[in-house]
Amino acid sequence: MGSGTQTKVLIIGAGKAGRLLDRDIAARHRNVTVLGFVDDAPDGRADVVGMISDLPMLLQKFQVGELVIALPSADGATIRRILLTVAKSTAEVRMVPREQHVLRHNAVTYAGLREVGPDDFLGRPIVKRNLRTVERFYTDKRVLVTGGAGSIGAEIVQQLLALGVRHVSVYDHSEYACYLLEQFLRERRVGRRRYSIIIGSVTAPAKVAATLRRVRPDIVFHAAAYKHVHLMEDNCDEAVLTNIFGTKTMADAARAEGVRRFVFISTDKVVHPTSVMGASKLLAEHYIQSLPAGRTGFSIVRFGNVINSHGSVLPLFERQIREHRYITLTSMKMRRYFMSIREAAELVILSGTRVTRGDIFVLDMGDLISLKEVATCLIRSKNLRPEIDVRLRVVGRRPGEKMVEELFTERERDRMVRTSLPHVWQLRRSDELPREALQQTLERLQPLAEAGASRRVRAILAESFPSLQR
């Protein structure tokens, strides 16, 4: 806005953050007029002009130029509700910093307002965990992270370094991703003795065994995997080689080398799998659970879509908005679970402190969210209008995609128990295949996958998981 233009502002939230912002605007910004507050709990205050549901009427009535969300501790559902309510409005939408910033500085300024981001409208209430116990567990430990240069793996690496581990070994096949991670750690002045970067494949048994003997990790986090559903439908052989036999190679080597803990990162796509990716990860889960008790404790972490991870839907939507002014949707009815990269890595690290024999840890991911709502909120957060400035195009389902994801089966639900970790459930031994049947399936799959016989590989997977035949 130009210096001579008067900006009319509505503040959502009449609590402390909203009042601090109002005070700052009155003292420092003569060209900004606060018209009042919007709050669902007005408590009889005269300057509260309405509730969130009243926003369309209020924006039109007062010709509001800017809407400020002054709810620093609001969860994603609340932010989504606001963005969806004002979807067709031309008013600019910004918000105050999150709760920690407000509490630390005891100030909210108009100059310090920021854009609404995906973590705001998809996030859930921040869970405060007691990290002292976790820090004590990881202090002086040596850890290896496969896929450690990927989006989730790199976040695990960063959190482990912050927890004070002695050394983190990053094991990843992507030279470029390893280069980017190394640059990131150097820029943050992480001591070179605290980490090492090893370029290698989880499908190379001799390299894996030699690496574990050399770095002697106490804990292995296995994040390396192929994750793109539609690509793996056309490359079944590679999905099986990496997701199943790469996991088997890592787990077998960990047992042979006396690694104390092994955490396998799985996916919600293993539940009633309709894709080769999901089926391959489910067979890997079954293999982990089939291993006999021994020195190495195994656990599995299962979660849904991770916000802004490499190849996830959010970066795709953002690129489409930027380059094409449209967003492609599989279906207006498709729904997914979402979690932040921070939450995903934290759950993995927490599960590493638990001794189990193949138990599965599942984060309570809240409600399923419509991808149409996600797209609408993302468009509105850019101060654009859905279906006016940015169109939504339905392109149909790709092979292997589900309309709605699940985190566990009905049978698994009966064996879920709460843990002492907030919002984390533990599944006691999943519906693993009988060990002999699993071994036979693996023996049939390996030579076919190595020969690149994708169609025959898919047929064998479908024998084990009838849902794949749909």
Catalytic residues: 269
223's tokens: 């994040």
- Tell me the one-letter amino acid at 187: E
183's tokens: 């640059």
Report CA torsion sign: 124, 156, 293, 252: positive
17's tokens: 């953050």
Instruction: Supply the DSSP symbol for 127.
Output: P
CA 122 to the chain's CA centroid: 10
- Tell me the one-letter amino acid at 196: S
Helix (H, G, I), strand (E, B) or coil at 247: helix
Q: Please state, in angstroms and rounded to a whole number, the distance separating the CA atoms of residues 188 and 182.
A: 10
Can you give the C-alpha Rg of the chain in angstroms?
A: 25
CB 170 within 8 A of CB 199: no
User: Judging by beta carbons within 10 Å of its beta carbon (0-12, 13-18, 19+), is residue 282 exposed, middle or buried?
Assistant: buried
331's tokens: 């279906």
Strands (E), 240-353: 261-265, 297-302, 305-306, 326-329, 335-336, 338-339
- Tell me the one-letter amino acid at 28: R
Nearest by Cα to 244 from 457, 98, 7 = 457
Tell me the C-alpha to C-alpha distance, in Å, between residue 430 and each of 305, 361, 408, 419.
21, 11, 9, 17
Counting DSSP H helices and E strands in the chain, the numbers are 19, 20
